[in-house]
Chain A
Amino acid sequence: MDGILNGLLALGDPQLLILLLMATLGGVVIGALPGLNATTGAALLLPFTLTMEPIPAIAVLTAIYCSATFAGAITAILINTPGTSASATTCLDGYPMAMRGEAGRALGMAVVSSTIGGVLSVLCLMLAAPLLARAAYHFSPPEYFALTLFGLSMLATIGDGSPVRNIIAGALGVLLALVGVDNLTTVERFTFGSHELYDGIGFVPVMIGLFGISELLVQSSALDQIRERIKLNAVKLPSREDYKKVWKTILRSSGIGVFIGILPAEGATVASMIGYNEARRWSKTPEQFGKGAIEGIAGSEAANNAATGGAMVPTLALGIPGSATAAVILAGLMVHGLRPGPAMFTEQAEFAYAIFWSMLFVNLLFLAIGLYGARLFARITLVPTQILWPCVFIFSVVGAYALEQSMFDVWVALISGVLGYLMRRYGFSVVPLAIGLILGGMLEQRLGQSMVMLDEKWWLLVTRPLTLFFFVLTALALFGPTVWRIMRPESARQSDQ
């Protein structure tokens, strides 16, 4: 209880409130710019938070996460280009509504459903994260090893990229995490005698490269894309009829978003797709979907914003990132010397609750910003690519350099950028690589500790109920979809084709 109140009191700091306002505005700008998303924004701004205290630093990153996820809807509705991948389904009905002169109504619904989804998810985060952390108190290294393995196996099911390619990318991330001096034995691995590699490959420059510089290279192939913005007069709050139509959809999608967010590695994109599909499935007028159904916007936006709070649950309670942006925030926690896990809710309860309260505050803040500032933010959707991306490059390079003030990190960012671009070119997602890099060291450490505990009898891992439970979940995540495809009746498989 003290932690909850102290966390709220921490939010009373005027400096923190101003910082949150700026971060929310920055997040809305990032989300509204096509090509930039919450993950890229958080990765680019992570180095700027290094000189801050932990509470403002992580609060800024979560503010960017929440507000950028919402702001993707602005471009989705006005220029038919999702500002973030989580808003891809918002385009389907948002743009047709804008085309028939209802851009203000569509944006109003996006703002309100995003806020409700976001607020509900933060409330769930406040309840679920401490409970999950308390349960994790009973975990010993074998359980943590199995849990981390489960977290990695969930990479198979994330949005883009095939399951096998996602797992390969994740495993490559794990391999990169092993570069440097082994923490358990102090043996040098893959350092080639370079002292810059003794501490391993830094998360921050890799993330800047994977999410920022690789996107620059992707944008270089879309220079001839012409974007036209639909005129926006004013954002309209949903009418009573609109609320009647969508309240069930918003609640359902919020629940879906929170649940999907809590699953390791699954983020707002998957949540919005499922939220949208469920909205259509339960709708009385499913034929209107894709032609400008307001329930479509509510279903997609409530789900993607609800996933933000959900994704923070495993991130803070277990140290397993719930999404790509949560992985960047987790990297931020580590850089600030904070260890997510059960101890966070006892030893650093004030910090944890301050983050929860700040997320709640940001969700209310972007309601106001969305309603009154959307017209202004709509203008930035057409910032020319040839102006935006050179600026992003400058921030990427300086950000990579800033952490250790080392040019080596700049090279790491550049190489990661080219690697990220090549991965995307050949159908690999870069998200698993980033998550693998974060979890790799943890996975090995927990395996080593488990082997010590179990007297090097690895088969004893499956004799522990919780460990076995996580192994079963891992097997389901890896092989479930394939088994499901094989087990389905022939007629259902044919109708899919």
Chain B
Amino acid sequence: MTTQTSRQRWELLLVPLVIIAFCAAAYWLTLSFDRMPPILKRGIQPADFPQLVCATIIILTLFMMWRDPVRIAEQSGSKTVGTMVLMVVFAGLTTIDLFLALAVFAAVLAFYWGERRVGFLVLVGLIVPVLVFFLFDRVFEIRFPRGLLTNLWYG
């Protein structure tokens, strides 16, 4: 219990630190933006506004740490991390074929979330992706990127 509390404390401290680090990095990047000669700068330099926004976020985050610390509002379930991992697998599969990746992801996600009825798994993993594919291809004339399976249709 003590370990968990201490981990959560770190986690909550990490959130504002990540925001500050992100904005500090963005601010640092703005220092490398080209500066325009006065005649071309159109009121403000390209770096001015991003710097103002970064500084505002950093100040607000410090204020948040002082007055209104971050809390955990949504508890992660045991399947949340697994779902994110599946998304990474999906991203990897898209390099082979987007349609294949969608079908595999949908079926595996449904199974992982507890669906065991074969009919529903076929619906989610095959029928819906096929319908969506043809809806986009025929009705909206939007082509999926070429891949292992889509090449069979596109030729």
Contacts and interface: CB of A to CB of B under 8 A. Distances in A.
Interface of A: 48, 50-51, 162, 164-165, 167-168, 171-172, 174-175, 178, 182, 184-185, 187-190, 216-218, 220-224, 384-387, 389-391, 393-395, 397-398, 401-402, 405, 407, 410-411, 414, 417-418, 421, 424-427, 440, 443-444, 447-452, 456
A424 B110 contact: no
Nearest to A482: B67
Contacts of B129: 394
Contact of A168 (B61, B67, B91, B128): B61
B76 A426 contact: no
Contacts of A182: 46
A394 B42 contact: no
Of the candidates A405, A414, A427, the one having the most CB atoms from chain B within 10 angstroms of its own CB is A427
A447 B49 contact: yes
A389 B46 CA distance: 42
Contacts of B84: 217, 418
Contact of B83 (A175, A220, A398, A424): A220
B144 to A, nearest CB: 8
21 contacts: A162-B68, A164-B60, A178-B53, A185-B40, A185-B41, A188-B33, A217-B84, A218-B74, A221-B79, A390-B105, A390-B113, A390-B125, A391-B128, A394-B106, A402-B142, A405-B145, A427-B71, A427-B73, A448-B43, A448-B49, A449-B43
B72 A405 contact: no
Given A182-B46, A393-B106, A448-B43, A217 B80 contact: yes
Contacts of B80: 217, 220-221, 421
A224 B104 CA distance: 23
Interface residues of B, number: 70
A36 to B, nearest CB: 16
Contacts of B60: 164, 167-168, 171
Closest 4 CB pairs of A and B: A221-B77, A451-B43, A386-B113, A390-B106
A390 B110 contact: yes
B146 to A, nearest CB: 11
Nearest to A405: B142
Interface in B100-134: 102, 105-107, 109-110, 113-115, 120, 123-125, 128-129, 132
A398 B140 CA distance: 12
A448 B42 contact: yes
A71 to B, nearest CB: 22
Given A175-B53, A221-B77, A426-B70, A189 B140 contact: no
A332 B94 CA distance: 27
B53 A164 contact: no
B46 A397 contact: no
Contacts of B61: 168
Contacts of B9: none
A51 B54 contact: no
A171 B91 CA distance: 29
B64 interface: yes
Interface of B: 12, 15, 19, 23, 26, 29-30, 33-34, 36, 40-47, 49-50, 53-54, 56-57, 60-61, 63-64, 67-68, 70-77, 79-80, 82-84, 87, 91, 94, 98, 102, 105-107, 109-110, 113-115, 120, 123-125, 128-129, 132, 136, 140-145
Q: Which of B46, B47, B56, B91 has the most CB of A within 10 A?
A: B46
A395 B128 CA distance: 10
A202 to B, nearest CB: 15
Contacts of A162: 64, 68
Contacts of A410: 94, 98
A451 B49 CA distance: 12
B100 to A, nearest CB: 12
A269 to B, nearest CB: 16
Given A221-B75, A395-B132, A164 B67 contact: yes
Contact of A418 (B12, B87, B113): B87
Contacts of B143: 405
A220 B77 contact: yes
B43 A223 contact: no
Contacts of A385: 113
Contact of A397 (B43, B102, B128): B102
A175 B71 CA distance: 24
Most chain A C-beta atoms within 10 Å of own C-beta, residue among B43, B67, B98, B113: B43
Contact of B43 (A222, A401, A456): A456
B115 A389 contact: no
Contacts of A217: 80, 83-84
Contacts of B74: 218, 221, 421, 424-425
A386 B132 contact: no
B91 A411 contact: yes
A187 B36 CA distance: 9
A221 B76 contact: yes
A141 to B, nearest CB: 9
A458 to B, nearest CB: 9
A390 B54 CA distance: 37
A224 B78 CA distance: 11
B77 A187 contact: no
A43 to B, nearest CB: 16
Contacts of A185: 34, 36, 40-42, 45-46
Contacts of A440: 53
Contacts of B113: 220, 223, 385-386, 389-390
A48 B140 contact: yes
Contacts of B44: 184, 444, 447-448, 451
Contacts of A175: 23, 26, 50, 53-54, 57
B42 A452 contact: yes
B59 to A, nearest CB: 10
Contacts of A456: 43
Contact of A387 (B40, B56, B120): B120
